[in-house]
Structure 1
Amino acid sequence: MQTRNKVFDDISQLMTNAMGVAQGAKDEAETAMKSWMDRWLADRDFVTREEFDAVRAMAQKAREENEALKARLDALEAKK
């Protein structure tokens, strides 16, 4: 009976080690993929959310100013 328990203990230890190796491989693969994605995104010159929002706000302000100037110009042309 003692031999049988030793075999089960050995198999259990082997499976535990295999799961540890699998978890390590998974973590390493995730780290490698994240690094690759970070490099890929950095090479694409994407803008940050803050930069995008700032440019959008500038464009909105320019649109509003253009509409105000157009209304003013239309009013001046109507007086003639």
Structure 2
Amino acid sequence: MQSENKIISDFVKVANSAAGTLAGMTREARDGARERMKEAMGGLDFVSREEFDAVKDMAAKAREKVDDLEARIAALEAKQG
């Protein structure tokens, strides 16, 4: 009976060691992947939604102003022509 308990005990120790090693490898792989992703994304320039919306509004206002100025120029050209 003692030998069976020793074998089971050794098997449990090996299984626990394997589980710990696997958990460590998983954690290391996840951290490595996260670091590679940070490096890859570091070269890209992202803007916040607020910044995007602000620039979009500025572009719309500029477009309206251009349209108004084009209409005024057309009116002035029609007077001279």
User: What's the TM-score, normalizing by structure 2?
Assistant: 0.69
Deviation at 1:39, TM superposition (A): 1.3
Deviation per CA, 1:2-55, whole angstroms, max 9, x where unpaired?
A: 21122112111211111111111111111111111111111x232222475132
Match of 2:31, as an amino acid? T
**1:59-78 to 2 correspondences below 5 Å:** 59-71=59-71
CA distance in 1 between partners of 2:65 and 2:9 (Å)? 79
Greater shift, 54-63 or 1-10, is seen at 54-63
Structure 1 residue ranges without an equivalent (≥5): none
Q: Secondary structure at the match of 1:46?
A: coil
How many matched pairs? 78
Identity %: 36
- Does the C-alpha gap of structure 1 residues 9 and 60 become closer, same or farther in structure 2, counting only changes over 3 Å? farther
Whole-angstrom distance in 1 between the partners of 2:10 and 2:71 = 86
Alignment partner, residue 45 of structure 1: 44
Farther off after superposition, 64-73 or 54-63 = 64-73
Per-residue CA deviation, residues 33-80 of structure 1 (Å, 9 max, x unaligned), is: 1111111111x23222247513223222222333344455556667x4
The more displaced of 6-15 and 49-58 is 49-58
Structure 2 distance, partners of 1:72, 1:6, is: 97
- The residue identity in structure 2 corresponding to 1:47 is F
**Which residue of structure 2 aligns with residue 57 of structure 1?**
57
